[in-house]
């Protein structure tokens, strides 16, 4: 084989190997297809990349996983207070649900703070399940303090991505 042909073969091999670098790939845990007479949609759970579309009606993010991390700060003297993250619909983060178990909620309230210590929301807890709205908040770290008669029972660290 001549040097010219070998040179062209090497250039073609390098060029073809470069094409695979630009291929789409995702690591997904589950997914499926749904269809009706009006149209169809396919979905995956666990996508790493996304597309965001904005308009006058709002913003839609396809494929984005926006988790909420919840970390309990302080002591565990009040194990009956649990914070459960409810995310509906995914991928948007609308709210978290504060669930108080085995404890009378009378005299209890929560305060939601940002990292600078500014109180963003304060609400009296009237029942065992209380919804804390987070849809208007940007991606950041927040603290949710649960108090009873002015005394802090538990503080939760909430990270909204």
| Contact indicator for 96, 110 with CB cutoff of 8 Å | no
Band of residue 51 on the pLDDT scale cut at 50, 70, 90: low
Q: Give the pLDDT score at 83.
A: 61
The CATH number of 85-160, from 2.60.40.3580, 3.40.50.720, 3.30.1650.10, 3.10.50.40, is 2.60.40.3580
pLDDT one-digit tens code per residue, 10-33: 887 776 666 555 545 555 666 777
Report the predicted TM-score, pTM, of the whole model to 2 decimal places.
Answer: 0.54
Distances in whole angstroms, Cα of residue 152 to Cα of each of 68, 83, 106, 107: 22, 15, 14, 12
pLDDT one-digit tens code per residue, 70-92: 777 776 777 777 766 554 443 44
Q: Which long-range contacts (CB under 8 A, 24 or more apart) does 110-119 make?
A: 110/144, 110/145, 110/146, 110/147, 111/144, 111/145, 111/147, 112/142, 112/143, 112/144, 113/142, 113/143, 113/144, 113/145, 114/140, 114/141, 114/142, 114/143, 115/140, 115/141, 115/142, 115/143
Q: What percent of the chain has pLDDT over 90?
A: 10
């Amino acid at each position: 084989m001549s040097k010219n042909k070998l040179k062209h073969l090497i250039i073609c091999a390098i060029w073809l190997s470069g094409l695979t670098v630009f291929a789409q790939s995702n690591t997904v845990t589950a997914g499926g297809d749904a269809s009706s007479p009006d149209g169809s949609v396919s979905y995956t759970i666990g996508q790493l990349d996304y597309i965001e579309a904005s308009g006058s009606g709002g913003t839609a993010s396809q494929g984005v996983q926006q988790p909420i991390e919840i970390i309990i700060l302080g002591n565990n003297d009040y194990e009956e207070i649990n914070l459960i993250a409810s995310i509906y619909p995914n991928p948007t983060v609308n709210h978290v649900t504060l669930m108080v178990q085995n404890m009378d909620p009378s005299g209890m309230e929560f305060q939601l703070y940002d990292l600078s210590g500014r109180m963003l929301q304060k609400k009296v807890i009237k029942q065992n399940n209380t919804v804390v709205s987070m849809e208007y908040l940007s991606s950041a770290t927040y603290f949710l303090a649960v108090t009873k008669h002015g005394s802090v029972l538990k503080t939760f660290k909430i990270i909204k991505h």
